[in-house]
Amino acid sequence: MSILQIYHYPESVLKKVADPVETFDDDLKKLAEDMAETMYAAPGVGLAAPQVGISRRLVVIDCSPREENRSLIFAVNPEIAEREGEVFEEEGCLSIPGYYASIPRSARVKVRYLDLEGRPVEREATDLLAIAFQHEIDHLDGILFVDHLSPLKKSFFRKKYKKIMEQQQEQL
């Protein structure tokens, strides 16, 4: 397993709609395992293939506390089948380091996806897992969590993010 490079805003791969996965082979499993290793090392609770520069519909998610047993989900070609309720939780993103914002998400979702063998899975998710699925599926559609911000908050984001990036460059 290897740790992959995480692409940061405004990389163009993050704004592209990812291609569906059609081949379920060892290459897909290796990519999924490398993505999981990258997510754990970051550390994060989810990672979509576009975030590592690969425009394919694959996400990895693990919302379990790190001390406990891992609850790793590999979701291929995921889609949200049902949504219910609304929550506002502060979100961050491995592709937008150092920036957090509260955005509206569905409180409960039903997600359909394929596992790494190509078998269909349907699961209900609430709380952090529901938010993580929505966040990662957005990545597959070329949507970043900051795209959900109001125009005013987006302008604040751009200014703040520019400062964050300048500070990181100074530390190098």
136 carries an active-site annotation: yes
150 secondary structure, DSSP code: -
Residues 6+ apart with CB under 8 A from 147: 138
Q: Closest Cα to residue 143, out of 10, 14, 46?
A: 14
- CB-based contact 103:132 (threshold 8 Å): no
> How many whole angstroms separate alpha carbon 70 and alpha carbon 108?
22
Single out the catalytic residue among 67, 89, 124, 136: 136
Q: What are phi and psi of 170, to 5 degrees?
A: -65, -30
How do 58-61 and 96-105 pair as beta strands?
Answer: unpaired
* Residues annotated as catalytic (active site), given as ranges: 136
